[in-house]
Structure 1
Amino acid sequence: MPLADIQSRIEAACTRAGRERNEITLIAVSKVQPLDRVRTILDQGHRVFGENKVQEAASKWPDFRAHYNNVQLHLIGPLQTNKARQAMELADAIHTVDRPKLANTLARLAQDMGSCPDLFIQVNTGEEPQKSGVLPAEADDFVAEVRALDLPLKGLMCIPPAEEEPSLHFALLAKIAARNGLEGLSMGMSADFESAIALGATHVRVGSAIFGERDYG
């Protein structure tokens, strides 16, 4: 079974890195996956999932949560400020805090709602113009800004450039997190999560290796 295989590979990566398995949260990325595939993974006992879009998350996770206990939902795609309230109502964690306007919106909503999901700042480690995230040189200041808003900042997230060695980007993210006293590192996907675990990942985001290739129709 793909899920069992990924779990075994995570365990082996932890052993090689001298880490405990419970230090790693496996986020099964269910974006654009048919509901029956998601249900199969739920039936196997997995409970932590990731979605890119608020609208898609809203269309399926309230129903799944009505039938399965202890489901955690992580939003891992770009978040528009006008979707922030809905995101906060749906998600246990948001991995893509990437600009002051969004941080301020989340802080205002947290005051209104009396709660806030765990937050990760997205760092654009490859400095790619088409990709979201704060630049590495601006990350320290943005961490301080988010903390000043009294938001529950847990760590950092990155998506390395597809054509570059991911471990260089994982090491950079870990360095930025360490100097800011942040323990959470959301990094590593289907092709490179073992490398991410070796470099300190606490959350790995695995989609196609669990569910199969996505059908974008």
Structure 2
Amino acid sequence: MSLDSVKRQLAEAEAKAGRAPGSVTLVAVSKVQPEDRVQAVIDAGQRIFGENRVQEAETRWGPRRDLEGLELHLIGPLQTNKVNKAFELFDVIQSVDRPKLARKIADAAQSAGRCPRLFVQVNTGEEPQKAGIAPADTDAFLADCRAMDLTVEGLMCIPPVEESPAMHFALLAKLAERNGLAGLSMGMSSDFETAVEFGATHVRVGSAIFGERAYD
């Protein structure tokens, strides 16, 4: 697949779901991708990218930070000792996943006088190896974030690979609606069209745009 074909499929999914054209933001997941592939996607006009690690993002995007229209999303786990660096690099942090991290972000925002846009990661499958707030704890965690003066834009999830994603997307949408949140980051290369059907505002697509990731 390619950027053009993904954009075409995304537009078709929006139309099928009765969504306005362009209502879903495409986040191109560039993590672990070779430089030539990333540059080709930049050259094709994509400006919104997702990275998993602060250090990798700094190496890749630091020299490109003045690229017009560039918007960087942190979609992987964030260590508390990397929060200040994440503030420098990222426009959006999608992986707020525990009270200690929320507190650290709140303190950094207070010091910096600004804060990246925030999504709370929900572990919809309650998988022990996966980061995220349990669905049952999401309401209370969001209330705690608001008590720290953190403005949360939406929720993010990564469904279990062996389960149908639809029920996880539906659960995330329900949690977001209950808490008055508009943002829903859900859906990846294999299921972003389903995510659009369930109300995704952001889809995170990697291999369908870049090809399979190249691991060292």
TM-score higher than 0.5: yes
**1:168 aligned residue:** 167
| Residue correspondences, number | 216
Asked whether the equivalents of residues 25 and 203 of structure 2 are also in contact (C-alpha less than 8 Å), the reply is: yes
Matched to 1:21, the amino acid is: P
Q: If the length of structure 2 is used for normalisation, what is the TM-score?
A: 0.98
Per-residue CA deviations over 1:119-173 (Å, capped at 9, x if unaligned) read 0000000000000000000000001111111112100000000000000000000
**1:147 aligned residue:** 146
**2:22 aligned residue:** 22
Per-residue CA deviations over 1:74-104 (Å, capped at 9, x if unaligned) read 0000110001110111000000101110000
Q: CA deviation at 1:64?
A: 1.9
**1:197 aligned residue:** 196
SS in 2 for 1:70: coil
**1:74 aligned residue:** 73
SS in 1 for 2:123: coil
Moved over 2 A (4+): none
- Segments of structure 1 that go 5 or more residues without pairing to the other structure are none
Asked whether the equivalents of residues 11 and 22 of structure 2 are also in contact (C-alpha less than 8 Å), the reply is: no
SS in 1 for 2:204: strand
Per-residue CA deviations over 1:154-211 (Å, capped at 9, x if unaligned) read 0000000000000000000000000000000000000000000000000000000000
Separation (CA, whole Å) in 2 of partners of 1:152 and 1:69: 26
Asked whether the equivalents of residues 166 and 192 of structure 1 are also in contact (C-alpha less than 8 Å), the reply is: yes
- Segments of structure 2 that go 5 or more residues without pairing to the other structure are none
SS in 2 for 1:79: coil
SS in 1 for 2:76: coil
**1:114 aligned residue:** 113
Q: CA RMSD in A?
A: 0.8
Per-residue CA deviations over 1:12-62 (Å, capped at 9, x if unaligned) read 000000001221110000000011111111111110000000000000102
Asked whether the equivalents of residues 117 and 152 of structure 1 are also in contact (C-alpha less than 8 Å), the reply is: no
Q: If the length of structure 1 is used for normalisation, what is the TM-score?
A: 0.98
**1:127 aligned residue:** 126
Matched to 1:23, the amino acid is: S
Asked whether the equivalents of residues 123 and 156 of structure 1 are also in contact (C-alpha less than 8 Å), the reply is: yes
Matched to 1:19, the amino acid is: R
**2:56 aligned residue:** 56
